Amino acid sequence: MMTPQQKLAWYNLTVTGVTLCLILIAYPLLGRGALGFLGFLGLQGLGGLFYGKKKGTVTWDEREQQIHSRSILAAWAVLWLYLSMACMITWGIHYFYQHQYVITIDVLPLILFGAGIFVVLTQSIATLVQYGRERGDAKD
């Protein structure tokens, strides 16, 4: 049986994966219009429903908290690495290939969406890896 945190991690991974697949499939047909599928990422907001309180059931304890904290830490580290790389690469490409010191305005939202995707992916994977590592004998 999965904890709400595990369910949320799987849910976020699924939503992100499906969204990226839809974009890849639609891109040859719609071009940049396919990026509109990024709106599907908003479905992650429904993840809070996994924490619906069932009477008498404990859904959050110190171990859940520890796993959550470590996952956030991993996501935070990846976020800064991503932002550093994204900024250097984006501006670098524009400078070296177009000899411009500015980037086009439509690149900025994509960088932000990319940051969100990286954070969610890293946090979800880190969460699932920790549960997998701690998986023990489930027998009563």
Interface contacts to another protein, rule CB under 8 A: 1, 3, 56, 58-64, 131, 133-138, 140
Work out how close the CB of 124 gets to another protein at its nearest, in angstroms, rounded to a whole number. 17
Closest to another protein by CB, 32 vs 55, is: 55
Work out how close the CB of 63 gets to another protein at its nearest, in angstroms, rounded to a whole number. 4
Work out how close the CB of 72 gets to another protein at its nearest, in angstroms, rounded to a whole number. 18
Cα gap 51→45, rounded to integer Å: 12
Closest to another protein by CB, 45 vs 52, is: 52
Number of H helices, E strands in the chain: 3, 0
Close Cβ partners of 120 (under 8 Å, ≥ 6 residues apart)? 12, 16, 41, 44, 75
Single out the residue of 37, 32, 6, 7 nearest to residue 20, CA to CA: 37
Work out how close the CB of 70 gets to another protein at its nearest, in angstroms, rounded to a whole number. 12
Closest to another protein by CB, 5 vs 16, is: 5
Cα gap 76→71, rounded to integer Å: 9
Closest to another protein by CB, 60 vs 95, is: 60
